[in-house]
């Protein structure tokens, strides 16, 4: 009797632990992902990516989205993603040029004619695959490319002609491409993380910034630098990357979920991105900002200067030239 009582007690005790064991087994894998911006297409892409991952993994992966540099600056998020201390981030590929100079290709001037064409290029199977693979040997796995907005100059004082930009201290992203472009117009390029830019404008340490209207509007740059000149010399893009170290720990079915979620988010975010450009433009003016354009002659001069600088920068290395040639080929095809 004592034997059966003991067995019964063990069985009952084991049963008590079953719910906890089941809960432990069903605890989701956390996917912590971040970006430097907020309420723009990049932030929206992260939310869509997390949503698709959660839905398609049936809750086995839980996405945690951190906008506005909550996980650090773009360079710091790049490092954390490489190490696997966070699982991914989305932002301007130019911030990763220290890992691979080919990341700056999308900053080239004179490649894109409009936003729809740029989106066709980014989602082109050949170019998409090549660009997303750039960081694979550095611990970064690209999972999505998305449009940002046409490039503009935002400055503390009005720009009435191209010569007005000469001598200005202009914030750029980290790549040599934008450095060469700003020098071509006789201005001073200042690489700077996004979180530092607004205080620098407010204090006069910067005269202006190259950027896209949605980000400039979301961060209220119109309070410090209300003058925008719509040069549209290039189109800003963003890339979503995840930690290869983290990805390699996932079972095969979840790997497929993550890859497909990145592609779906890149397609789904397009309408939001297009609408966001228009919303930002309207709100900029409503908030007291001013938007102008260069005259036709200055615009042609600007485009030639920036396109020539882009060509020189992307022709100095065989690998740079290869991705740049592919970009131009796909862009020409997408324009037809």
pLDDT per residue as tens digits for the range 252-289? 999 999 999 999 999 999 999 999 999 999 999 999 99
How many C-beta neighbours within 10 Å does residue 202 have? Answer: 14
C-beta contacts of 5-13 below 8 A and 24+ residues apart: none
Query: How far, in whole angstroms, is CA 247 from its chain's centroid?
Result: 20
Name the percent of the chain lying above pLDDT 70.
93
**pLDDT at residue 195, as a whole number:** 87
- Classified by CATH at the fold level, domain 16-334 comes out as D-Maltodextrin-Binding Protein; domain 2 (3.40.190)
* Separation of alpha carbons 302 and 283, rounded Å: 27
Looking at residue 144, its pLDDT comes to 98
Q: What b-and-e string marks burial along 7-42, b requiring 16 or more CB atoms within 10 Å of the CB?
A: eeeeeeeeeeeeeeeeeeeeeebebbbbbbbebbbb
pLDDT at 336: 78
Model-level pTM?
0.89
Residue stretches of the chain with pLDDT short of 50: 1-24
Say what the pLDDT of residue 12 is.
Answer: 42
pLDDT one-digit tens code per residue, 7-56: 343 334 444 434 444 334 579 999 999 999 999 999 999 999 999 999 99
Largest Cα span, the chain: 102
pLDDT at 25: 53
| Count of alpha carbons within 13 angstroms of residue 324, beta-carbon side | 22
- Distance (Å, rounded) from C-alpha 317 to C-alpha 69? 33
Query: So what's the pLDDT on residue 82?
Result: 97
CB 148 within 8 A of CB 235: yes
Owner of token pair 């830019």: 197
What pLDDT sits at residue 221?
97
């Amino acid at each position: 009797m004592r034997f059966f009582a003991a067995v019964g007690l063990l069985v009952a005790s084991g049963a008590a632990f079953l719910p906890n064991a089941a809960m432990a087994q069903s605890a989701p894998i956390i996917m912590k992902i971040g970006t430097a911006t907020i309420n723009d297409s990049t932030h929206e892409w992260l939310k869509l990516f997390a949503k698709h991952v959660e839905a398609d993994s049936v809750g086995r992966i839980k996405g945690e989205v951190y906008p506005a540099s909550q996980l650090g600056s773009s360079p710091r998020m790049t490092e954390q993603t490489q190490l696997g201390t966070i699982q991914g981030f989305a932002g301007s590929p130019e911030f990763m040029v220290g890992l691979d100079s080919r990341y700056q290709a999308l900053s080239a001037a004179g490649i894109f004619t409009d936003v729809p064409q740029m989106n066709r290029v980014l989602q082109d199977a050949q170019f998409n695959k090549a660009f997303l693979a750039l960081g694979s040997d550095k611990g970064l796995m690209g999972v999505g490319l998305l449009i940002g907005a046409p490039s503009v100059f935002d400055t503390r004082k009005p720009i009435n002609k191209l010569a007005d930009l000469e001598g200005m201290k202009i914030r750029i992203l980290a790549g040599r491409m934008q450095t060469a472009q700003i020098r071509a117009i006789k201005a001073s390029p200042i690489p700077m993380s996004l979180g530092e830019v607004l205080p620098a404008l407010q204090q006069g340490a910067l005269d202006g910034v190259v950027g896209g209207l949605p980000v400039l509007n979301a961060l209220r740059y119109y309070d410090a630098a209300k003058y925008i000149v719509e040069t549209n010399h290039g189109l800003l893009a963003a890339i979503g990357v995840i930690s290869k170290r983290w990805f390699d720990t996932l079972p095969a079915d979840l790997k497929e979920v993550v890859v497909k979620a990145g592609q779906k988010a890149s397609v789904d975010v397009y309408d939001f991105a297009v609408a966001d450009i228009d919303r930002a433009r309207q709100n900029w003016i409503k908030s007291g900002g001013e938007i102008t354009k260069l005259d036709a002659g200055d615009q042609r001069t600007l485009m030639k200067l920036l396109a020539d600088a882009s060509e020189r920068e992307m022709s100095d290395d065989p690998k740079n030239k290869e991705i740049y040639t592919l970009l131009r080929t796909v862009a020409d095809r997408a324009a037809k």
